[in-house]
Amino acid sequence: MRRAVRTVALAIAAPAAVLFLLMAVGGHDAGAALRALWEGSFGSWYAFTSATLVRAIPLILAGLGVAVAFRAGVWNIGAEGQLLAGAAAAAVVALGSEGTLGSAALPLALAAGIVGGALWAGIAALLRERYGVLEVISTIMLNFIALYLVGYLVRGPLQEGTHIYPQSAPLAAAAQLPRMGAGSRLHWGLVAAVAAAPALWWWMSRTAAGFRLRAVGANADAAAMAGGIDVPRVRRDAFLLSGAFAGLAGAIQLTGVTFALYEDLSPGYGFTAIAVALLARLEPLAVVPAGVLFAALESGSLAMQRDAGIPSVTVSIVEGALILFALATWSRRPFSAMPVGRRAAEPA
């Protein structure tokens, strides 16, 4: 417990120290910058709920997806594309069934997001299993394809009625996530994100399927030869589950925040989710505070730019330093669960 508290304290102090140093070197008022960062993220109830927590929801869900894949030894770098695919699938269902589904519109849209993200990840899984395509390459390429697909949809089949703006029509009220309080942007997607973390932890640590996933990630050869585990199947399932989490993140972002599909629906949540999962050491329960921390940095950076005149991209440097700090403080090999090459248990 003492070590965990120390790690959390250092994780909070490290970005503040890096930011202070950057401000001093750049000739900015470091005190004003840190004050703006705090006020924009935790300084008020509205900032915490409507800025930080709203941004944390997709980061937590996509971070859980990345953690699942990495724990299985799968380099899923495509959470961004899977998030967009989930949002697009949710938009198709919500807009295509407007006025016909009633109260079922929202759960069906969320379910479509889960399926859309899983299927998008399934493309990379198929390319790896059938043709030996490295998932690092395929998932990165699929990120761009998903972005262009959304661009096509909002300029074509799903474009709003006036055909002026590159976005879809707004979702009906029945397909929108309700707010958690009056005067706040925080929606009930937070409950889904927070509940998903202990559920995933229980599945990974208390079920046979979760054990097989962790065994394959730790040593695929030993899992196949000594444990008789079907390594390709476990990795394929991990890929699909990972994409499902990212797709749910996209569907919740659509139904809870943007209420319409457009190209900039995600400001890079899928990429930041990789950092979230690494900072959490691929542990589902730790993904929640890690997601909140990165959300606070991103929401605080906007206030820092607005109130202190500091470029918001400065926080990207802080986030990078935070990841380096997290990796440097791992007590075990940080990438022991990562694939370092094609294993004997995996077909060529």
For the record, the structure tokens of 253 come out as 């972002």
| Number of domains observed in the structure of the chain | 1
Q: Mind giving me the DSSP string for 173-195?
A: GGGSPPBSSTT---BTHHHHHHH
* Residue 139 counted as domain residue: yes
pLDDT band of 261, cuts 50, 70, 90: very high
What is the pLDDT averaged over residues 179-202? 93
* Residue 231 counted as domain residue: yes
Cα-only R_g, the chain? 20
Q: Assess whether pLDDT exceeds 60 at residue 133.
A: yes
For the record, the structure tokens of 341 come out as 């090459």
Give the predicted TM-score (pTM) of the model: 0.89
Question: In this predicted structure, what is the pLDDT of residue 337?
Answer: 44
Indicate the helix (H) or strand (E) that contains 329. none
Give backbone dihedrals phi and psi of 10, rounded to 5 degrees, phi first.
Answer: -70, -35
**SS3 of 262, please?**
strand
Looking at residue 177, which CATH number applies to its domain?
1.10.3470
Give residue 224's domain range.
Answer: 2-328
- The lowest-confidence range among 8-22, 158-172, 180-194 is 8-22
What is the pLDDT averaged over residues 264-279? 92
* Residue 345 counted as domain residue: no
* Residue 270 counted as domain residue: yes
* Residue 41 counted as domain residue: yes
* Residue 335 counted as domain residue: no
| Residue 168 bridge partners (DSSP) | 159
Question: In this predicted structure, what is the pLDDT of residue 309?
Answer: 74
* Residue 343 counted as domain residue: no
CA atoms within 13 A on the CB side of 335: 7
Q: Assess whether pLDDT exceeds 60 at residue 53.
A: yes
94-97 long-range contacts (CB < 8 A, ≥24 apart) are 94/171, 94/172, 94/175, 94/254, 94/255, 95/158, 95/168, 95/169, 95/171
For the record, the structure tokens of 37 come out as 């960062």
Indicate the helix (H) or strand (E) that contains 287. helix 284-308
For the record, the structure tokens of 340 come out as 């370092």
Environment class of residue 31 by beta-carbon count within 10 Å: exposed (0-12), middle (13-18) or buried (19+)?
Answer: exposed
* Residue 344 counted as domain residue: no
What is the pLDDT averaged over residues 305-315? 74
